[in-house]
């Protein structure tokens, strides 16, 4: 036990450290005694644990801390922890002794003023420790603090709750009723995070043990965790004892962690379910008054009934998944019963640099070769456009190029392209023709109509709208003509694919191209690994351009064509530089196209030559994202911008105009629109179209914003795109659509 006088002196030292953490002499003095003991219990979650430890050390910065890992007999290479973090105190238990006992083992080894308990499947957000420690220093009667805990998608977990009652089983955080009716009064009363304003600390009954900060003195007063709880409810019990000894428990939303729920428990799901219910009864029994002995059988019966329901529900889910798996394979067998693969003829107007070319490349190479036989037909690229046909350099089957199929409208060339496509249909005899982009979509669908009529076939047609040409490209009269053409072509199409919910709404409601039931939403998919790992290349791109690390680097990536509105980007750059003369800034334009000369001339006219670098196309684009501080997009019209997805995966902040599917990517607004002409969204900043002044102010907001809010926004964006735009999901969705189409199910 330490003396009270030492504790007072120590409190002063902590405050000094938090106020003067850049003072090397004081830091060396504090390091003699650890400020924090961080305890993590691991069970076969070492991959997550390593990521957790990286986030801990990144957030600690210079705070003196010891990290204890109690490993409960994992079999997934926990020794990797010492290889990467030799300073971690790793204890390898011979068997799984449970959460409470493992925590207690670590508590007996340390004596720092504060204890942080973390699950291995958590990720500590930047700036986590300082505000919590300041709060606990200023509120000495607070014994336990629980931060805001976010789910992997950025939603807030119900980590602060009231002590359990008989209704908790029905209206708890993960109960069926709470999932289907989250705003019912019983759930709101039980899950106290719903009452939080997101900023102000508030007293609560108990907080989740996935992450809690505990004052050492209260552990001395209250005692260790109750080891009768193998796992679950030991945190609620500890908080209850805390209140019983006069300490307070506080939910503190100014600090955050991300929690990937259930990673450890999923390693042994049946035991986890059983231990949860055993601990539920122990908690009830521990605090049930002796005079209410007759309630025990009822509690036991209720918990047993709940256990039975959970087990049956789990088994039902397993049976359902097996049934769906069997149905899918039966459906595939019906389609392939003659041993014939489904022949898919894919057509795109050109393989220029951009999302559509990446998309068709993935679909051409990635479809299951046992079920599908894909062939890609593409048109000719304009001299001003970047070429992405290199994606197919290593392909077994190269794309078939029809030179007459090109971007420009020409009656003679378009008739030749139609004839070539019709000849290809006769030769390939496809089951499905899937078109991408307007030019290929119109020629190919008309050719399929004629082919089916002449040869009595039933070739199915699918058309994907990667964007549309109904706004921003042509005059009002031309746009209306294209709308009527697409309405006619939609009648010839079996399935129309929109790549975002907003695009589907535009196609079905705004432009009335086709009824909603005919339009399927299939979002894009990518191999995101190069972008998720782009950080390892940091510095290379800047060095290649001679840009130092202190310069703010703002970039725009895309074709230099009118619809991308690079003029607005340059105007916003001019305004930003005028309003922020003290900020050392460089702007880069990655891409090429017909407006290159005009944009360079306009850049010179604005006096931006020394601030803007035109980089042309860069094949290894993850190098660019590794060094970008902000990605800008100023388009007048978009489908689902690939550059935004790539930036989010690379943890680069995004500001973009509110067009097409951009809002679907950036998410709902965090608050009311700014009077400065931009809107802060969950995953980025949204600007008005053609508003260079508001765009410049949005750039300034991204630079000056609260570091914790910026980190949370980046984390939400990264998790969003990683889960939403995977290559595997795209292939699964398209293969299912093709199989349903061949079975006349769509």
Of residues 411 and 152, the one with the higher pLDDT is 411
Residue 337: what pLDDT? 57
Residue 727 to residue 720: CA distance in whole angstroms: 14
- With contact defined as beta carbons under 8 Å apart, do 493 and 463 qualify? yes
Place of tokens 């607004």: 669
| Same domain membership, residue 733 and residue 721 | no
CA nearest to 435, candidates 455, 409, 414, 464: 464
Residue 492 to residue 173: CA distance in whole angstroms: 49
Lowest mean pLDDT among 82-86, 111-115, 548-552, 674-678: 674-678
CATH of the domain at 70: 3.90.550.10
Q: For residue 99, give every residue at least 6 positions away whose Cβ sits within 8 Å of its Cβ, in sequence order, or none.
A: 41, 209, 225, 229, 230, 231, 232, 234
Residue 705 to residue 710: CA distance in whole angstroms: 7
Of residues 190 and 718, the one with the higher pLDDT is 718
End-to-end Cα distance, the chain? 72
Residue 354: what pLDDT? 77
Tell me whether residue 388 is in a domain. yes
- Residue 496: its H or E element: strand 495-498
Mean pLDDT of 394-405: 82
| Same domain membership, residue 147 and residue 45 | yes
pLDDT digits (tens, 9 = 90+) for 610-622: 999 999 889 889 9
pLDDT digits (tens, 9 = 90+) for 211-251: 999 999 988 888 898 888 887 888 888 899 989 888 999 99
Residue 326: what pLDDT? 67
**Could you give the number of structural domains in the chain?**
3
CB atoms within 10 A of CB 737: 20
Tell me whether residue 323 is in a domain. no
| Same domain membership, residue 512 and residue 605 | no
| Same domain membership, residue 627 and residue 592 | yes
Q: 286 pLDDT exceeds 60?
A: yes
Residue 655: what pLDDT? 96
Mean pLDDT of 344-370: 88
The set of long-range contacts for 8-16, using a CB threshold of 8 Å and a minimum separation of 24, is 10/113, 11/113, 11/137, 14/113, 14/133, 14/137, 15/137
How many CA atoms lie within 13 Å of 702's alpha carbon, on the beta-carbon side? 29
| Same domain membership, residue 656 and residue 700 | yes
Residue 462 to residue 454: CA distance in whole angstroms: 20
CA nearest to 164, candidates 16, 11, 27, 287: 287
| Same domain membership, residue 568 and residue 708 | yes
- Token pair for 329: 């394979």
Tell me whether residue 131 is in a domain. yes
Mean pLDDT of 555-569: 93
* Full DSSP string of 704-741: HS-HHHHHHHHHHHHHHHHHHSBHHHHHHHHHHHHHHH
Three-class SS state of 592: coil
Residue 263: what pLDDT? 57
| Same domain membership, residue 587 and residue 736 | no
| Same domain membership, residue 559 and residue 494 | no
| Same domain membership, residue 647 and residue 720 | yes
Report the range out of 87-91, 499-503, 726-730 with the highest average pLDDT.
87-91
> CA 319, 325, 331, 335: dihedral to nearest 10 degrees?
-160
Strand partners, 67: 38
The answer to pTM > 0.85 is: no
Residue 639: what pLDDT? 77
Q: 172 pLDDT exceeds 60?
A: no
| Same domain membership, residue 548 and residue 512 | no
Residue-number span of the structural domain to which 625 is assigned: 534-725
How many CA atoms lie within 13 Å of 621's alpha carbon, on the beta-carbon side? 26
- With contact defined as beta carbons under 8 Å apart, do 567 and 476 qualify? no
Tell me whether residue 394 is in a domain. yes
Residue 351 to residue 413: CA distance in whole angstroms: 18
How many CA atoms lie within 13 Å of 212's alpha carbon, on the beta-carbon side? 25
Q: Label residue 170 by pLDDT band (50, 70, 90).
A: low
| Same domain membership, residue 617 and residue 484 | no
Three-class SS state of 238: helix
- Residue 127: its H or E element: none
Residue 448 to residue 428: CA distance in whole angstroms: 12
Lowest mean pLDDT among 163-167, 324-328, 339-343: 324-328
Tell me whether residue 50 is in a domain. yes
CA nearest to 440, candidates 376, 495, 388: 376
- With contact defined as beta carbons under 8 Å apart, do 730 and 654 qualify? no
Mean pLDDT of 396-401: 84
Bridging pattern class, strands 685-687 and 678-680: antiparallel
Tell me whether residue 401 is in a domain. yes
Residue 493: what pLDDT? 95
Residue 403 to residue 414: CA distance in whole angstroms: 10
Query: For residue 41, what are the CA distances in angstroms to 97, 116, 493, 572?
Result: 10, 12, 56, 50
- With contact defined as beta carbons under 8 Å apart, do 741 and 460 qualify? yes
Identify the domain boundary among 260, 287, 303. 260
Question: What's CA 243's distance to the chain center, in Å?
Answer: 38
The one-character DSSP state at 312 is H
Residue 565 to residue 573: CA distance in whole angstroms: 13
Residue 531 to residue 647: CA distance in whole angstroms: 8
- With contact defined as beta carbons under 8 Å apart, do 383 and 591 qualify? no
What phi and psi values does residue 400 have, to the nearest 5 degrees?
-90, 125
Residue 617 to residue 624: CA distance in whole angstroms: 11
| Same domain membership, residue 145 and residue 221 | yes
Query: For residue 234, what are the CA distances in angstroms to 63, 103, 176, 178?
Result: 28, 11, 23, 23
- Token pair for 569: 């980007």
Query: Strand (E) positions, 263-305?
Result: none
Q: What 3 state SS string does 317-343 have?
A: HHHHHHHHHHHHHHHHHHHCCCCCCEE
Identify the domain boundary among 241, 260, 279. 260
Q: 505 pLDDT exceeds 80?
A: yes
Lowest mean pLDDT among 19-23, 511-515, 556-560: 19-23
Q: Label residue 7 by pLDDT band (50, 70, 90).
A: very low
Residue 237 to residue 550: CA distance in whole angstroms: 50
Residue 519: what pLDDT? 93
Tell me whether residue 70 is in a domain. yes
> CA 243, 247, 251, 252: dihedral to nearest 10 degrees?
180
Residue 132 to residue 213: CA distance in whole angstroms: 8
CATH of the domain at 453: 3.40.50.2000
Mean pLDDT of 172-177: 52
Tell me whether residue 334 is in a domain. no
Q: 289 pLDDT exceeds 90?
A: no
Residue 16: what pLDDT? 53
Mean pLDDT of 648-672: 86
Residue 136 to residue 267: CA distance in whole angstroms: 35
CA nearest to 713, candidates 258, 210, 213, 193: 258
Q: 430 pLDDT exceeds 90?
A: yes
């Amino acid at each position: 036990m330490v003396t009270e006088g030492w504790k007072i002196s120590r409190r002063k030292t902590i405050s000094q450290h938090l106020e003067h953490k850049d003072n090397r002499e004081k830091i060396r003095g504090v390091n003699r005694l650890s400020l924090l003991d961080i305890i993590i219990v691991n069970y076969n979650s070492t991959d997550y644990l390593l990521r957790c430890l990286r986030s801990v050390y990144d957030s600690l910065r210079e705070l003196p801390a010891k990290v204890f890992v109690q490993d409960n007999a994992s079999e997934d290479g926990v020794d990797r922890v010492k290889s990467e973090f030799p300073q971690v105190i790793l204890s390898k238990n011979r068997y799984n002794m449970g959460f409470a006992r493992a925590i207690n083992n670590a508590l007996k080894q340390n004596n720092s003023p504060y204890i942080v308990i973390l699950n291995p499947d958590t990720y500590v957000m930047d700036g986590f420790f300082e505000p919590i420690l300041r709060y606990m220093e200023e509120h000495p009667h607070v014994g336990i603090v629980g931060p805001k805990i976010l789910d992997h998608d950025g939603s807030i977990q119900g980590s602060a709750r009231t002590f359990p009652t008989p209704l908790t089983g029905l209206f708890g955080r993960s109960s069926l009723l709470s999932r289907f009716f989250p705003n019912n009064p019983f759930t709101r009363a039980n899950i106290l995070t719903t009452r939080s304003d997101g900023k102000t600390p508030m007293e609560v009954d108990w907080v989740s043990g996935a992450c809690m900060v505990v004052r050492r003195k209260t552990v001395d007063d209250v005692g260790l965790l109750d080891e009768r709880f193998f796992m679950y409810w030991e945190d609620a019990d500890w908080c209850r004892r805390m209140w019983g000894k006069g300490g307070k428990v506080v939910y503190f939303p100014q600090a955050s962690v991300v929690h990937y729920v259930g990673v450890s428990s999923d390693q042994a799901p049946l035991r986890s379910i059983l231990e949860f219910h055993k601990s539920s009864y122990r908690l009830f029994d521990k605090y049930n008054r002796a005079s209410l002995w007759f309630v025990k059988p009822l509690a036991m019966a209720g918990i047993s009934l709940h256990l039975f329901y959970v087990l049956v529900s789990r088994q039902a889910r397993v049976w359902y998944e097996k049934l769906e798996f069997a149905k899918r394979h039966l459906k595939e067998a019906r389609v392939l019963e003659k041993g014939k693969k489904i022949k898919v003829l894919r057509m795109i107007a050109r393989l220029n640099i951009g999302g559509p070319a990446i998309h068709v490349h993935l679909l051409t190479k990635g479809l299951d070769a046992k079920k599908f036989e894909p062939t890609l037909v593409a048109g000719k690229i304009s001299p001003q456009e970047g070429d992405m046909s290199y994606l197919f350099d290593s392909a077994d089957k190269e794309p078939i190029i029809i030179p007459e199929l090109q971007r420009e409208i020409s009656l003679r060339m378009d008739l030749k392209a139609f004839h070539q496509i019709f000849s290809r249909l006769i030769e390939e005899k496809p089951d499905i023709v899937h078109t991408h982009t307007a030019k290929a979509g119109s020629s190919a669908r008309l050719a399929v109509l004629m082919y089916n009529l002449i040869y009595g076939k039933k070739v199915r047609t699918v058309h994907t709208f990667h964007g549309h040409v109904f706004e921003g490209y042509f005059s009002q009269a031309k746009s209306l003509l294209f709308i009527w053409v697409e309405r006619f072509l939609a009648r010839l199409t079996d399935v129309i694919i929109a790549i975002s919910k907003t695009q589907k709404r535009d196609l079905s409601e705004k432009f009335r191209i086709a009824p909603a039931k005919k339009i399927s939403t299939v979002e894009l998919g990518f191999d995101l690994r190069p972008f998720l790992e782009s950080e390892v290349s940091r510095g290379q791109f800047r060095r290649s351009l001679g840009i130092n690390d202190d310069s703010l680097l703002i970039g725009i990536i895309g074709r230099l064509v009118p619809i991308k509105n690079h003029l607005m980007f340059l105007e916003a750059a001019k305004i930003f530089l005028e309003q922020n003369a003290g900020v050392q800034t460089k702007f880069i334009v990655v891409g090429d196209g017909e407006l290159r000369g005009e944009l360079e001339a306009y850049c010179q006219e604005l006096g931006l030559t020394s601030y803007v670098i035109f980089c042309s196309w860069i094949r290894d684009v993850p190098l660019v994202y590794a060094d970008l501080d902000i990605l800008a997009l100023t388009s007048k019209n978009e489908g689902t911008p690939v550059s935004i997805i790539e930036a989010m995966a690379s943890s680069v902040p995004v500001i973009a105009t509110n067009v097409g599917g951009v809002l679907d990517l950036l998410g709902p607004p965090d608050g009311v629109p700014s009077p400065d002409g931009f809107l802060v969204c969950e995953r980025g900043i949204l600007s008005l179209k053609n508003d260079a002044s508001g765009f410049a102010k949005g750039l300034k907001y991204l630079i000056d914003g609260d570091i914790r809010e910026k980190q949370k926004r980046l984390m939400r964006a990264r998790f969003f795109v990683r889960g939403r735009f995977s290559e595997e999901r795209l292939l699964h969705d398209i293969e299912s659509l093709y199989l349903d189409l061949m079975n006349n199910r769509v």
